[in-house]
Chain A
Amino acid sequence: MKQDIFQAIADPTRRAILTLLAVQALTPNVMAEKFDMSRQAVSKHIKVLQECDLVKPEHQGREIYYHFNAKKMQEFDHWLAQFRQNWQAQFNQLDKLLSTIKEEK
């Protein structure tokens, strides 16, 4: 992954693009219209989202439709869940340590 996913979703325009794509796949032209932005500006955002795998392109004739990659978002949430579990595991160890120390006193 070339892009930090946090950076990708920290930008409000990119979040709006993702929200839009979660409903339906769109071409960059349609996105540019919807956001009242230049085609170039949309392409830049799409590039960032594509680099961290949050959107996937699909060629249909001469047009490129971009899809929201829900699986990537899930993976990301999964990572965070693991992070949470690690903390919980450590804290459970600390519970044991604290009760051992308390008993010794």
Chain B
Amino acid sequence: MNNNDLLFDFKVDKVAKTVYITREFNAGLDLVWDAFSRPELLDQWGAPAPMRAKTKYMDFKVGGRRFYAMVSPDGQERWSVQEFTSITPKTNFKMYNTFADKDENRELPGSDWDYNFSEQDGITKVYIVIYNESFERLEKLLEGFKIGFTMTLKNLEELLVKLS
């Protein structure tokens, strides 16, 4: 199966403040579940390049937390705390996500995330529901990405200057 044939669906219900994301992956359930729940794997894909994700610690159990940062190319860190509220292995997990400072002080309110996993013929479907992500929080989230992206462009400009 070509990766381009994999389903990606992104819906926003502005009134209910809910984002719905569906994505298929060309891998078995066990592997995809691990990619979403193990820090050493999460950190390899969990931030859009050139940002990168850096997990300080992760305790994947009900009541446990993941404390992690999105790091921009110039080293700026945006910390968040994910608190796991429910885990049904290889089927579903739920968490409450909030921004935080570097000392793990949370900035309430946050948003509720609900991840669902199912496999058919070696293709794993992940269905994510994000509730109560306010426009401000979205903006904050994207600000970080923008900083990262702007930095990359600047680096590229400098490189081009050097090369010319």
Residues of chain A at interface, number, CB under 8 A:
30
Number of interchain pairs (Cβ within 8 Å)? 79
- On whether the beta carbons of B134 and A6 are closer than 8 Å, the reply is yes
User: Is there contact, CB below 8 Å, between A4 and B45?
Assistant: no
Q: Does B25 lie within 8 Å of A94, measured CB to CB?
A: yes
List, in ascending order, chain A residues with CB within 8 A of B129's CB. none
Contacts of B6 in A (CB 8 A): 95
A62-105 with Cβ < 8 A to chain B: 76, 79-80, 82-91, 93-99, 101-102
B8 pairs with A97, CB closer than 8 A: no
Within 8 Å CB of A86, what residues of B?
Answer: 48, 141-142, 145
Chain B nearest CB, measured from A75 CB (Å): 10
Bound CA span A7–B26, Å:
38
CA–CA, A83 and B63, complex, Å: 28
Contact A101 B31 (CB under 8 A): yes
A86 to B48, CA, bound (A): 6
Q: Is B153 interfacial (CB 8 A cutoff)?
A: no
| Given A6-B135, A99-B26, A88 and B8 contact (CB-CB distance below 8 Å) | yes
Q: A6-B14, A76-B135, A79-B138 are in contact. Are A93 and B49 (CB under 8 A)?
A: yes
Chain A nearest CB: distance from B109 CB in Å? 11
Q: Does A5 contact B (CB under 8 A)?
A: yes
- Determine if A21 is an interface residue (Cβ-Cβ < 8 Å): no
The verdict on B73 contacting chain A, using a C-beta distance below 8 Å, is: no
Q: Which of A1-55 contact B (CB under 8 A)?
A: 1, 4-7, 9-10, 15
Q: Is B120 an interface residue (CB 8 A)?
A: no
- A4 and B49 within 8 A (CB): no
Does B57 lie at the interface of the complex (its beta carbon under 8 Å from any beta carbon of A)?
no
Task: Output the least CB separation between B36 and chain A (Å).
Answer: 9
Evaluate whether A10 and B15 lie within 8 angstroms (CB atoms) in the complex, with A86-B145, A89-B48 already known.
yes
Which one of B16-24, B79-87, B156-164 is at the A interface? Answer: B16-24
Query: Do A95 and B26 form a contact, CB below 8 Å, given A86-B145, A88-B8?
Result: yes
Q: Nearest 10 CB-CB pairs, A to B?
A: A89-B48, A93-B45, A98-B27, A94-B45, A84-B10, A5-B135, A86-B48, A4-B134, A6-B17, A97-B45
- A-B contact list, 25 entries, CB within 8 Å: A4-B136, A5-B135, A6-B134, A6-B135, A15-B15, A79-B135, A82-B142, A83-B19, A83-B141, A85-B48, A86-B48, A88-B10, A89-B49, A90-B45, A90-B48, A91-B23, A93-B49, A94-B45, A95-B25, A97-B41, A98-B26, A98-B32, A99-B26, A101-B31, A102-B27
